[in-house]
């Protein structure tokens, strides 16, 4: 602590920078936020050398290289509380789509000189490597959940974060159910709330970017998903968009794939 | 005598990278922009995916410019299917697109580059000196984000754009309600541009080849042909033949070169110098008042082009919202068929090119994505070769800052650029 203010650091791993931008998008709160804490490392915003240790560390991005494996272990050692922000950090993110493909084939497609490329076979969440104290899901993370996490920690309480499914949030907002009314495939019943039900609000199905909700009934959900999708491929791809590498969404995808094999 | 300018991690960029300049006897002998963002293989995992998923997946290439990625992807696939969209859809796409210009440009001008010109390490310390200026910047940025949120549900990775149109029309009144804020933004950026014009930009000019989107009807951002200061107007297809990405072994990054093996520049200075005549009256009047008129060949002054483009974006958004007249379905009917399509848009930091081949089932056969930073990297390194001898007599810290500032002035997006990187340079020397 400096002047009683927690020392805060923000680190980036494999990601699009969008969750760090979500912090900078706290336009109304940013100046108060930086007054309440000491930002000691935030490369996207500030030209300061690393200054260990940290009371609160935010980590954006997933682990995709050996260097990142080693770096996250070091950051964990230097951190009091470690908060992973966004679905790359909590679930492996969109780049976990490579987890279903042969990594050498991917390198060949994209790079002229594959011998220069170093990458791990899988994109993995931070929690697969070190202990994570709080996970803020979303692609991108909801900026008010970041604010809630910091406020809670300043008040020495657990942050109040939604665990229930998107369906509740959708109902609370008075949205018409896209699956019931229009037969549109939607991951809402198995996805964590927190985005404001933005996809059903524009008439499309949820694609699961806030990750799996706490209590889900896959046996009830999978038949509905199959009924509303034109092919098993479509259903599996919907699950494997942003949070496909989570055990719950992967289990759902496997159920569909097994059913397809059984039907053949 | 040897010395090195080394920055392990350059701050205030989108994504992460370092810079190494080795100097011998007063001359640079080695310059490396060492970009260590890990590769994420987007083109690879798009293979075999349904065309429908492409806009949502490619948005995730970049949290700062998801809309140009979504727009390039959507337009390219629409071309492959032969889809034409009606005017109101084009208007809504353009509002969404320009709103991201506001957000991204204001972020860069005030939070990323202005600290270099005012002696601050960040916008946080700049806020200590000039709180009103930073508050105005944050409010402008917020207005850009609010417009995106109104159309797309959220400003980062918005969810409403789709092949053939939008999932739903945005309520006109919800956009009209933002007009007072947008009008305030127009005034605010006018005032802040006057301030920006007084900043102490380093004296540095380069003879660039500029390349940008060119649309005969408007200041091109959402779609058009491609224009170069060297070879004039070309089609998107000709672009791929004339401007190549190379995965070269002498450097840590794949660079883009023109067909004569020379680097070229994309971004606000390219658009500004090539398409200035198509700016609106308000933008041109302010540019002339402040003497910010082409030719503008100082890369540090990209900030001024961004400021004028921000004004243009506010002005255009207001007009487009008034003209927006949603009628009928928010998506056009189309047939999925095998084909190939490409599209160039202007991301805030420069020309972004997507090309897709789709099979008869609607699955992606292959994808090619050329982000602006990939194209500017070779240019940035060339600039550093020219700049380094000029700054060597300065104190080490100041010389380092000047070199970092040059890199920052390009507003590089290293998250976007990663797909073409090689990571471990030492082993191949």
Chain B interface includes A128 (CB < 8 A): no
Backbone angles phi, psi at B214, to 5 degrees: -135, 125
Mean predicted confidence (pLDDT) in B343-370: 96
The alpha-carbon gap from B58 to the nearest alpha carbon of chain A, in Å, equals 10
Which of B13, B59, B60, B359 should be substituted to probe chain A, the one whose Cβ sees the most A Cβ atoms within 10 Å? Answer: B60
User: Helix/strand/coil (H, E, C) string of B330-355?
Assistant: CECCCCCCCEEEEEEEEECCEEEEEE
- The full set of domain ranges for chain A reads 7-154, 166-263
A191: three-class secondary structure by DSSP: strand
Buried b / exposed e over B18-54, threshold 16 CB at 10 Å, is ebbbebeeeebeebbbbbbbbbbbbbbbbbebbbbbb
Chain B interface includes A95 (CB < 8 A): yes
User: A121, A103 in Cβ contact below 8 A?
Assistant: yes
Residue in A closest to B111 by C-alpha? A45
* Nearest residue to B189 via CA among B313, B318, B98: B313
**Domain at B138, CATH number:** 1.10.645.10
Q: In the predicted model, is pLDDT for residue B183 greater than 80? A: yes
Q: What is the extent of the structural domain holding B61?
A: 2-428
Backbone angles phi, psi at B351, to 5 degrees: -60, 130
Chain A interface includes B390 (CB < 8 A): no
Residue in A closest to B417 by C-alpha? A16
* Predicted pLDDT of residue B396: 86
Chain A partners of B419 at a C-beta cutoff of 8 Å?
Answer: 110
* Nearest residue to A225 via CA among A212, A216, A234: A234
Mean predicted confidence (pLDDT) in A58-77: 96
Q: Note whether A65 contacts B38, CB cutoff 8 Å.
A: yes
Q: Note whether B12 contacts A204, CB cutoff 8 Å.
A: no
What DSSP assignment string belongs to A121-153?
Answer: SS-B-GGGTS--SEEE-BTTBPHHHHHHHHHHH
Determine which of A187-196, B304-313, B388-397 has the lowest per-residue pLDDT on average: B388-397
* Predicted pLDDT of residue B310: 98
* Predicted pLDDT of residue B326: 97
Chain B partners of A72 at a C-beta cutoff of 8 Å?
Answer: none
The alpha-carbon gap from B152 to the nearest alpha carbon of chain A, in Å, equals 8
Q: Which residue has the tokens 């759902």?
A: A252
Mean pLDDT value across chain A: 93
Determine which of B13-22, B209-218, B240-249, B310-319 has the lowest per-residue pLDDT on average: B240-249
Chain A interface includes B398 (CB < 8 A): no
Q: Find the CB nearest A140 among B11, B157, B422.
A: B157
Chain B interface includes A184 (CB < 8 A): no
Chain B interface includes A110 (CB < 8 A): yes
Chain B interface includes A241 (CB < 8 A): yes
Distance in angstroms (rounded) separating the CA atoms of residues B126 and B115: 7
Which of A42, A44, A93 should be substituted to probe chain B, the one whose Cβ sees the most B Cβ atoms within 10 Å? Answer: A44
Q: Note whether A237 contacts B49, CB cutoff 8 Å.
A: yes
pLDDT classification of B393: cutoffs 50, 70, 90 = confident
Instruction: Record the tokens describing residue B8, joined without a space.
Output: 């392990």
* Nearest residue to B77 via CA among B335, B370, B371: B335
Q: In the predicted model, is pLDDT for residue B361 greater than 70? A: yes
Q: Note whether B156 contacts A116, CB cutoff 8 Å.
A: no
Q: How many CA atoms lie within 13 A of B53 on its CB side?
A: 27
Chain A partners of B329 at a C-beta cutoff of 8 Å?
Answer: none
Chain A interface includes B142 (CB < 8 A): yes
Chain B partners of A98 at a C-beta cutoff of 8 Å?
Answer: 40-41, 44-45
Q: Note whether A113 contacts B249, CB cutoff 8 Å.
A: yes
User: B62, B44 in Cβ contact below 8 A?
Assistant: no
pLDDT classification of B221: cutoffs 50, 70, 90 = very high
Mean predicted confidence (pLDDT) in A179-192: 98
Fold of A7-154: Rossmann fold (3.40.50)
Mean predicted confidence (pLDDT) in A42-59: 87
Strands B211-214 and B165-166 turn out to be unpaired
B24: three-class secondary structure by DSSP: strand
Q: What is the pLDDT of residues B248-307, one digit of tens each?
A: 544 445 567 888 889 999 999 999 999 999 999 999 999 999 999 999 999 999 999 999
Work out whether the CA dihedral B319, B325, B331, B332 comes out positive or negative. Answer: negative
Residue in B closest to A198 by C-alpha? B153
* Predicted pLDDT of residue A167: 97
The alpha-carbon gap from B259 to the nearest alpha carbon of chain A, in Å, equals 18
* Nearest residue to B20 via CA among B8, B2, B37: B8
Q: Find the CB nearest B64 among A21, A27, A203.
A: A21
Q: Find the CB nearest B142 among A17, A27, A98.
A: A27
User: A45, A91 in Cβ contact below 8 A?
Assistant: no
* Predicted pLDDT of residue A263: 86
**Strand locations in B105-231 (E):** 161-162, 165-166, 211-214, 225-228
* Cα end-to-end span (Å), chain B: 23
Mean predicted confidence (pLDDT) in A234-256: 97
Torsion, CA B150, CA B110, CA B273, CA B384, rounded to 10: -130
Q: What is the pLDDT of residues B39-96, one digit of tens each?
A: 788 988 899 999 999 999 999 999 999 999 999 999 999 999 999 999 999 999 999 9
Q: In the predicted model, is pLDDT for residue B207 greater than 90? A: yes
Q: Note whether A17 contacts B123, CB cutoff 8 Å.
A: no
Distance in angstroms (rounded) separating the CA atoms of residues B222 and B214: 10
- ipTM of model over 0.90: yes
Residue in B closest to A25 by C-alpha? B142
Q: Which residue has the higher pLDDT, B267 or B17?
A: B267
Strands A54-60 and A7-12 turn out to be parallel
Torsion, CA B322, CA B325, CA B331, CA B332, rounded to 10: -120
Determine which of A41-50, A184-193, B324-333, B352-361 has the lowest per-residue pLDDT on average: A41-50
B397 CB-contact burial (10 Å; exposed 0-12 / middle 13-18 / buried 19+): exposed
Mean predicted confidence (pLDDT) in B177-204: 97
Mean predicted confidence (pLDDT) in B298-320: 98
According to DSSP H, which parts of B153-280 are helical? 172-176, 179-196, 236-242, 268-275
Chain B interface includes A15 (CB < 8 A): yes
Distance in angstroms (rounded) separating the CA atoms of residues A245 and A260: 20
Q: If contacts are CB pairs under 8 Å, which of residues 149-168 in chain A contact chain B?
A: none
* Predicted pLDDT of residue B4: 84
Distance in angstroms (rounded) separating the CA atoms of residues B187 and B193: 10
Q: Which residue has the tokens 């494997």?
A: A240
Distance in angstroms (rounded) separating the CA atoms of residues B219 and B47: 34
CA angle centred on B308, ends B157 and B256, rounded to 5°:
60
Buried b / exposed e over B101-123, threshold 16 CB at 10 Å, is bbbbbbbbbbbbbbbbbeebebb
Q: In what order do the strands lie in the sheet with B339-347?
A: B339-347, B350-358, B364-370
C-alpha distances in Å from residue A196, one per residue of A137, B170, B345: 13, 17, 30
Q: How many CA atoms lie within 13 A of B347 on its CB side?
A: 35
Q: Find the CB nearest A31 among B62, B64, B127.
A: B127
Chain A interface includes B368 (CB < 8 A): no
Mean pLDDT value across chain B: 91
Q: What is the pTM of this model?
A: 0.95
Tally of structural domains, chain B = 1
The alpha-carbon gap from A66 to the nearest alpha carbon of chain B, in Å, equals 10
Determine which of A99-108, A229-238, B347-356 has the lowest per-residue pLDDT on average: A99-108
* Nearest residue to A19 via CA among B220, B64, B53, B170: B64
According to DSSP H, which parts of A79-210 are helical? 87-91, 103-110, 143-154, 166-172, 178-182, 198-201
Q: Note whether A116 contacts B428, CB cutoff 8 Å.
A: yes
């Amino acid at each position: 602590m400096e002047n009683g203010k927690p020392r805060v650091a923000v680190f980036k791993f494999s990601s699009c920078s969008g969750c760090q931008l979500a912090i900078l998008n706290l336009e109304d709160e940013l100046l108060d936020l930086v007054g309440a804490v000491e930002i000691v490392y935030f490369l996207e915003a500030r030209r300061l050398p690393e200054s260990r240790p940290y009371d609160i560390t935010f980590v954006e991005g997933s682990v995709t290289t050996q260097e990142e494996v080693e770096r996250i272990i070091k950051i964990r050692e230097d951190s009091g509380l470690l908060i992973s922000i966004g679905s790359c950090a909590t679930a492996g993110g969109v780049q976990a789509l490579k987890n279903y493909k042969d990594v050498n084939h991917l390198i060949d497609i994209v790079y002229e000189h594959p011998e220069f490329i170093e990458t791990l076979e899988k994109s993995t969440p931070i929690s697969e490597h070190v202990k994570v104290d709080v996970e803020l899901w979303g692609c991108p993370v909801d900026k008010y959940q970041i604010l809630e996490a910091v406020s809670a920690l300043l008040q020495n309480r657990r942050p109040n974060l939604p665990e229930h499914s998107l369906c509740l949030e959708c109902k609370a907002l008075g949205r018409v159910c896209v699956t019931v009314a229009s037969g549109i495939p939607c991951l809402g019943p198995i996805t964590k709330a927190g985005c404001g039900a933005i996809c059903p609000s524009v008439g499309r199905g949820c694609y699961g970017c806030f990750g799996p909700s706490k209590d889900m009934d896959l046996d009830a959900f999978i038949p509905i998903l199959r009924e509303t999708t034109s092919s098993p491929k479509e259903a599996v791809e919907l699950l494997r968009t942003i949070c496909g590498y989570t055990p719950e969404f992967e289990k759902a995808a496997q159920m569909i794939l097994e059913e397809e094999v059984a039907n053949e | 005598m040897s010395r090195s300018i080394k920055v392990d991690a350059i701050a205030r960029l989108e994504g992460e990278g370092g810079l190494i300049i080795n100097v011998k006897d007063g001359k640079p002998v080695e310059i490396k922009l060492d970009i260590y963002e890990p590769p994420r293989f987007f083109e690879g995992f798009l293979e075999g995916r349904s065309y429908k998923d492409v806009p949502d997946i490619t948005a995730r290439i970049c949290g700062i410019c998801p809309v140009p990625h979504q727009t390039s992807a959507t337009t390219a696939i629409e071309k492959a299917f032969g889809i034409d969209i009606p005017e109101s859809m084009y208007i809504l796409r353009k509002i969404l697109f320009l709103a991201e210009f506001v957000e991204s440009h204001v972020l860069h001008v005030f939070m990323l580059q202005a600290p270099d010109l005012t002696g601050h390490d960040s916008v946080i310390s700049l806020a200590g000196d000039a709180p009103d200026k930073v508050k105005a910047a944050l409010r402008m940025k917020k207005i850009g984000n609010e417009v995106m949120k109104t159309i797309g549900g959220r400003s980062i990775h918005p969810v409403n754009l789709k092949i053939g149109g939008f999932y739903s029309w945005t309520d006109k009144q919800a956009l009209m309600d933002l007009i007072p804020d947008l009008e305030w933004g127009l005034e605010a950026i006018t005032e802040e541009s006057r301030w920006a014009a007084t900043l102490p930009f380093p004296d540095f000019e380069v003879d660039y080849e500029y390349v940008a989107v060119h649309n005969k009807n408007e200041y091109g951002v959402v779609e058009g042909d491609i224009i170069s200061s060297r070879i004039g107007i070309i089609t998107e297809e000709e672009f791929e033949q004339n401007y190549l990405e190379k995965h070269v072994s002498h450097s840590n990054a794949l660079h883009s070169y023109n067909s004569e093996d020379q680097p070229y520049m994309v971004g606000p200075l390219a658009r500004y110098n090539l398409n200035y005549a198509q700016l609106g009256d308000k933008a041109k009047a302010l540019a002339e008042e402040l003497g910010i008129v082409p030719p503008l060949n100082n890369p540090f002054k990209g900030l001024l082009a961004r400021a004028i483009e921000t004004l243009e974006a506010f002005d255009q958004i207001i007009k487009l919202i008034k003209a927006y007249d949603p009628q009928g379905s928010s998506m056009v009917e189309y047939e999925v068929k095998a084909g190939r399509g490409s599209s160039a848009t202007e991301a805030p930091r420069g020309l972004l090119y997507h090309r897709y081949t789709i099979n008869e089932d609607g699955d992606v056969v292959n994808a090619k994505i050329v982000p602006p930073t990939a194209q500017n990297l070779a240019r940035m390194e060339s600039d550093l070769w020219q700049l380094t001898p000029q700054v060597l007599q300065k104190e080490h810290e100041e010389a380092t800052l000047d070199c970092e500032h040059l890199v920052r002035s390009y507003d590089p997006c290293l998250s976007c650029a990663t797909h073409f990187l090689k990571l471990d340079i030492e082993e191949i020397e």
